[in-house]
Each structure stands twice: as structure tokens, then as C-alpha cells.
Amino acid sequence: MFQPRPKDFDPRLGAIVDHLRAIQNELRAFGSSSGRRASAEAAAAGDRIADTIGPILSDIAERLRKGQQVAFDQASALGNQAVKAGAKAGGDAVDHIADQTKQRPLLMLAVAIGVGVLIGAAARRN
């Protein structure tokens, strides 16, 4: 920053220049050490932030996993209930048809033939 001057200046001016150079060197050294210190403090602050946020994010992830498991369990239970209800309805329908067949065998035979004819006609059109 400060350039050397010719020797023809007053010696006191040379002393001032030397002092200013010394101050400049001290400031440069202070700046580089404070920069390292600031960098270390910033890294430490980043570590503290990560230490604070890490457990919070882990807790959120765990809650999402638990919610996913609860939703899966509920969907599974509802699916099982639907299968049981469908099996019961199908069993009841078969029992009802069996009872009707015992009571009116000719009518059931006519219905079966009619359904067969309708299915055959629909299959022939395609």
C-alpha cells in the first residue's frame, strides 16, 4: 500500500513510513487470523444448526413412517373386511339359489337356460 520514497526526504518521514508499513503488516496478520477465526466460528455454527435440526428431521421422518404403517394396517383391515363381506354375500346368494332350486326346480332350469341363451347371443355378436 505504501511505496518507498527516495532517500532525500526527511528521516522522520521515513520513520513514519516504516511505522505505517508495520501497522499495515499487523492489520494484514490480524485480518487473516480473524478470517480463520470467523471461518471456524461459521463452521461451528453450522455444526450446531445441524445438531439442532437433525433430531427434528429424524422425528418427522419417524412420524411419517409410523403414519405410513398405520395407513397400511388400516387399508389391510378394510381389505380383509371387504373380502369377508364379499364371501358372506356370495355364500348367501349360493344358499338362496340352492333353496330356490329345491323349491322350484323347473323355474330355475328355465332361468339357467335363458341366461345361457343371452350369454351365447352376446358372445356371437362380438
- What angle, rounded to 10 degrees, do the helices at 105-125 and 11-103 form? 130
pLDDT digits (tens, 9 = 90+) for 97-114: 888 888 888 888 888 899
Domain positions in the chain? 11-125
pLDDT digits (tens, 9 = 90+) for 14-54: 677 777 777 777 777 766 666 667 677 777 777 777 778 87
5 contacts 17 by C-beta, under 8 angstroms:
yes
Residue 12 is which amino acid?
R
